[in-house]
Amino acid sequence: GIQVEQSPPDLILQEGANSTLRCNFSDSVNNLQWFHQNPWGQLINLFYIPSGTKQNGRLSATTVATERYSLLYISSSQTTDSGVYFCAVETLGTSYGKLTFGQGTILTVHP
| Residues at the contact surface with another protein, assessed by CB under 8 A | 1, 31, 33, 35, 41-45, 47-48, 86, 88, 95-104
Q: Residue 17 or 71: which CB sits closer to another protein?
A: 71
Q: Residue 18 or 80: which CB sits closer to another protein?
A: 80
C-alpha span between 70 and 24 (Å, rounded): 7
C-alpha span between 82 and 84 (Å, rounded): 7
Question: In the complex, what is the shortest distance from the CB of residue 4 to another protein, in angstroms, rounded to a whole number?
Answer: 8
Q: Which of 41, 46, 39, 57 is nearest to 21 (CA)?
A: 46
Q: Residue 81 or 90: which CB sits closer to another protein?
A: 90
